[in-house]
């Protein structure tokens, strides 16, 4: 899977950028895993309210870190 984007603005000196567009180039199965993760994170965010901080897909989807080619982490933050 590849993730591409266009820089909208630079957020800090460590390299974080806000994107104006995000493109996922991936298999249907991986896109379904991302969609499931996003839905789960949204439900947890609603339930947790202000206590929700962030979640990483690599911590939630078994084998995400070990796949080849290496998959980028997807993070949901409040």
Q: Give tens-digit pLDDT for 4-53.
A: 999 999 999 999 999 999 999 999 999 999 999 999 999 999 999 999 99
Does the predicted TM-score (pTM) go above 0.75? yes
Question: Given this model, what pLDDT does residue 13 score?
Answer: 95
Asked if the model's pLDDT at residue 58 lies above 70, the reply is yes
Q: Which two tokens stand for residue 27?
A: 């298999």
Phi/psi at 58 (nearest 5 deg)?
A: -65, -20
Say how many residues make up the chain: 78
Sign of CA dihedral 53, 64, 23, 47: negative
Asked if the model's pLDDT at residue 54 lies above 70, the reply is yes
Nearest to 26 by CA among 17, 36, 34: 34
Question: Given this model, what pLDDT does residue 1 score?
Answer: 87
């Amino acid at each position: 899977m590849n993730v591409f984007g266009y820089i909208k603005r630079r957020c800090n000196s460590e390299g974080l950028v806000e994107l104006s567009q995000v493109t996922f180039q991936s298999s249907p199965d991986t896109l379904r895993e991302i969609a499931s993760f996003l839905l789960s994170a949204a439900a947890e965010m609603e339930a947790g309210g202000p206590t929700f901080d962030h979640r990483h897909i690599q911590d939630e989807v078994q084998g995400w870190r070990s796949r080849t080619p290496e998959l980028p982490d997807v993070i949901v933050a409040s």
